[in-house]
Copies of this chain bind each other. A is one copy, B any other.
């Protein structure tokens, strides 16, 4: 990895830039804009996590998405009030309360995902299809094996 091989450095730089911009541009804020008062960059991870993992208890979901149990509870309160999420008693465990998306909740997640996909599509518009496919493949591999791959989520 001498001067002749700056690949790692290049990627690190681009990665830093990516992470910086995605927060600076408030990506999450924009993606969730206009989807109702309750859904914003803070509450969306709860919705998204439930969409991914299915009905879960607050504690489980917290472990899943890296938040404190109580924080999940508070955010779920807001989402429940907005009708995007509902609480059901766990049939298998009387103390547990399952958080589950309502149809509206699923719709919000779908809309947000579509927005992101559209944005990606737009920025890939001028790319040769082969490059785009290659990028998708390599990015996927990097994310799976990458410096963050200590968890499943």
Contact = CB atoms under 8 A, between A and B. Distances in A.
A7 B153 contact: no
Interface residues of A, number: 58
Given A116-B16, A150-B25, A151-B25, A123 B145 contact: yes
A135 B139 contact: yes
Contacts of A12: 113, 116-117, 119-120
A7 to B, nearest CB: 5
A111 interface: no
Contact of A123 (B45, B132, B142): B142
B151 A21 contact: yes
16 contacts: A10-B136, A11-B124, A11-B132, A11-B136, A12-B117, A15-B139, A16-B116, A20-B45, A21-B148, A21-B149, A24-B65, A25-B151, A119-B147, A120-B147, A126-B145, A134-B138
Interface of A: 1, 7-12, 14-27, 45, 48, 65-66, 113, 116-124, 126-127, 129, 131-136, 138-143, 145-151, 153
